[in-house]
Amino acid sequence: MENCKVIAITNQKGGVGKTTTAVNLGVGLASSGKRVLLVDADPQGSLTVSLGIKNPDELDVSLSSLMQSVIDDEPLAEGAIIRHQEGVDLLPSNIELSGMETGLFNVMSREYVLKNAIDGMRKSYDYILIDCMPSLGMMTVNALVAADSVIIPSQPNFLSTKGLNLLLRSISKIKRQINPRLKIDGILLTMVDNRTNFAKEIAALLRDTYGSKIKVFGTEIPHSVRAKEISAEGKSIFAHDPGGKVAEGYRNLTKEVLKLEKQREKNRAGLSR
């Protein structure tokens, strides 16, 4: 049975830790023995750069080549996937993806192009993490259609109800109209200043506002300059500063994500009995 889980890491706000989370949750899952593909769905190519590709714009084949194959109804372009030394695979992106996104408006089944590009890869991976761009545009819609669940990174002080409401509205619209199995795994508090006790306060606030609709991960990712350094190094925090608090945060997040899966498997087994 195919058992791959596709997670979109999304928030229309930039600079909240989406790419950092994709890299480090990805490497965390790979260290736990999972087969992981990281998909860069941002034309900025930050995930691609963070994994050590210095000039993404020089890549011949990237995510946009695969999406173009889908649009042209041709076999998928080959040779896009890059193996990273820390055990994750990368489907890179570059500026070409932005032209791709603009062109999507005239395409048949435009919301399904990314899904059709990556669904065939599910059999080769346990987790596919999609690093979304900071917008709720067509690329993000494609990511939410391709995904089984969503993780929403957010800095506690930037967690605006308005922004979150917009994102939740997009998610539930896609769930209703296109992808009924889409779930929200949770909000991940990032760059948390450990002098405050944000996570608890925010979890309580969210519970008041949204009831049990959204969970906040028990793990919070602390703020640390060490985390800032990794994208220039092309490595994860586990390689750069394994004993530090950010590595510990992402290690705990990995455990939480793995636990979610165990819980779901149990529920499935219970249902099928």
Site residues, Mg ion (CB under 5 A): 18-19, 46
Determine the Cα–Cα distance for residues 5 and 149; give it in Å rounded to an integer.
8
- By CB under 6 A, is residue 240 in contact with ligand ADP? no
40 and 53 Cβ atoms separated by less than 8 Å = no
- By CB under 6 A, is residue 24 in contact with ligand ADP? no
- By CB under 6 A, is residue 223 in contact with ligand ADP? yes
> 17 contacts which partner out of ligand ADP, Mg ion, none, CB within 5 to 8 A by kind?
ligand ADP
- Residue 224 has a CB neighbour count (10 Å cut-off) of 17
User: What are the Cα distances from residue 37, in Å, to 18, 34, 89, 125?
Assistant: 15, 10, 5, 7
- By CB under 6 A, is residue 219 in contact with ligand ADP? no
- By CB under 6 A, is residue 228 in contact with ligand ADP? yes
- By CB under 6 A, is residue 155 in contact with ligand ADP? no
Nearer to ligand ADP, 69 or 190 (CB): 190
Strands (DSSP E) found in the chain: 5-9, 36-41, 82-83, 88-91, 127-132, 149-154, 183-192, 216-222
Nearer to Mg ion, 14 or 120 (CB): 14
> 223 contacts which partner out of ligand ADP, Mg ion, none, CB within 5 to 8 A by kind?
ligand ADP
> 48 contacts which partner out of Mg ion, ligand ADP, none, CB within 5 to 8 A by kind?
none
> 15 contacts which partner out of Mg ion, ligand ADP, none, CB within 5 to 8 A by kind?
ligand ADP
User: Could you write out the three-class secondary structure of 39-96?
Assistant: EEECCCCHHHHHCCCCCHHHCCCCHHHHHHHHHCCCCCCCCCCEECCCCEEEECCCCH
Contact pick of 10, 12, 19, 142 for ligand ADP (by CB under 6 A): 19
- By CB under 6 A, is residue 31 in contact with ligand ADP? no
How far from chain centre, in Å, is Cα 3?
18
Bridge partners of residue 233, in order along the sequence:
none
Could you say which DSSP state residue 241 is in?
A: -
Residues 48-107 that bind ligand ADP (CB under 6 A): none
Bridge partners of residue 192, in order along the sequence:
222
- By CB under 6 A, is residue 231 in contact with ligand ADP? yes
Q: Binding mask 178-207 vs ligand ADP (x if CB under 6 A, - otherwise)?
A: ------------xx----------------
